[in-house]
Amino acid sequence: MLPVLSSFWSYLHWYLRPLVKWFLHHFTRLCELQRVCYGEEKGAPRTTGVEYSLELSRTPCLKRVVQQLSSLAESGRFTEETSYSAVEYAIKTVTDTKNINVKIHTRFVPSFRSCLLQIYGYKQLLHEVENLRKTSYSSDNCEHEDKLIKLWNVLMPDKPLPSRIGKHWSDIGFQGDDPKTDFRGMGLLGLENLM
């Protein structure tokens, strides 16, 4: 019964959403993104509202902008250098497509910019975290070994590391004699989190 209701709601939502948006647009003279940026509380409610609106947009040029920003973030290229021009392009596309007069609606651009930076900055962070998780700990990698030794020194400042492998690792919570075996599931992310 629940899947049927869910399916019915999805179907109804798909067809009624544009009608509701059209009605609200003609009643308020504001597009959905403007209503979200002006009406939602600053922070997560506004950002998730903007993200939801963009993801459900049926406008081809907005779909293209969302795809480009997502591609940048999911490939790890939504950096300080690239994010500014990508976000400014997205703002220009949205304001042109939705006929938003930025001289009249002065609050929209800073609010929308902030939301875009949060949305795609977060997606970039997810990409970086996933890369760390996929990177296996290697005792042959000097950087990995240096981080492990630094962890020992931070947690046991009064006791020098007796050897790379041994029972002493259990003193700081590792399961076996060689701590690299504890990083199997989380890769370098586990070590970074411990650091």
Q: Structural domain tally of the chain? A: 2
- Domain-located, residue 85: yes
User: Which residues constitute the domain of residue 176?
Assistant: 142-194
To the nearest whole percent, how much of the chain has pLDDT over 70?
89
Handedness of CA 121, 122, 123, 129 (dihedral sign): positive
Indicate if the pLDDT at residue 23 is higher than 80: no
Looking at 134, 159, 181, the residue that finishes a domain is: 134
- Domain-located, residue 1: no
pLDDT digits (tens, 9 = 90+) for 32-75: 888 889 989 999 999 999 999 999 898 999 999 999 999 999 89
Looking at 134, 160, 184, the residue that finishes a domain is: 134
pLDDT digits (tens, 9 = 90+) for 124-160: 999 999 999 998 888 888 898 899 899 889 988 888 8
Residues 159 and 153: beta-carbon distance below 8 Å: no
- Those residues whose C-beta lies under 8 Å from the C-beta of residue 69, and which sit 6 or more positions away, are 78, 86, 87, 90, 116, 119, 120
What is the pLDDT at residue 2? Answer: 65
Check whether residue 73 and residue 128 sit in a common domain. yes
Check whether residue 114 and residue 68 sit in a common domain. yes
